[in-house]
């Protein structure tokens, strides 16, 4: 929505699986973690990556147009969700190594 400067955190599925295993083995009940490899990928860049793979154009949408286009998902499209996994990495020795979201999107090598 708008300029698309809002950010979303991301993590590769294999890195998330590794963290899940680590926490199942080591975390105590009630532990809160942030399992993100990328603290914030611009929503515009995500949309452009998806559009490139699909071969469709992108355009900015105002709040009303986004609501019509995305439906209930529109409430999230304009939100800024940066998150840090510094404490998670330190506590569990977790070091994500998978490809970043944009690299993964544009590689086109994802499960169907």
pLDDT of residue 1 exceeding 90, the answer is no
| Dist CA 39 CA 43 (whole Å) | 12
pLDDT tens digits along 56-91: 998 888 888 888 888 988 888 888 999 999 999 999
| Dist CA 105 CA 51 (whole Å) | 10
What is the pTM assigned to this prediction? Answer: 0.81
**CA distance readout (Å), 11 to 59, 61, 103:** 26, 26, 12
| Dist CA 37 CA 19 (whole Å) | 11
Domain ranges in the chain? 7-107
């Amino acid at each position: 929505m708008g300029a698309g400067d809002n950010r979303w955190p991301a993590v590769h599925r294999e890195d998330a699986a590794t963290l899940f295993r680590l926490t199942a083995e080591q975390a105590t009940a009630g532990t809160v973690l942030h399992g993100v490899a990328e603290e914030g990928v611009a929503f515009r860049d995500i949309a452009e990556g998806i559009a490139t793979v699909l071969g469709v154009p992108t355009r900015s949408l105002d709040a009303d147009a986004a609501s019509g286009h995305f439906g209930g998902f529109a409430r999230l499209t304009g939100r800024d969700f940066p998150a840090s996994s510094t404490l998670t990495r330190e506590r569990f020795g977790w070091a994500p190594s998978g490809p970043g979201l944009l690299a993964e999107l544009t590689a086109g090598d994802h499960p169907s």
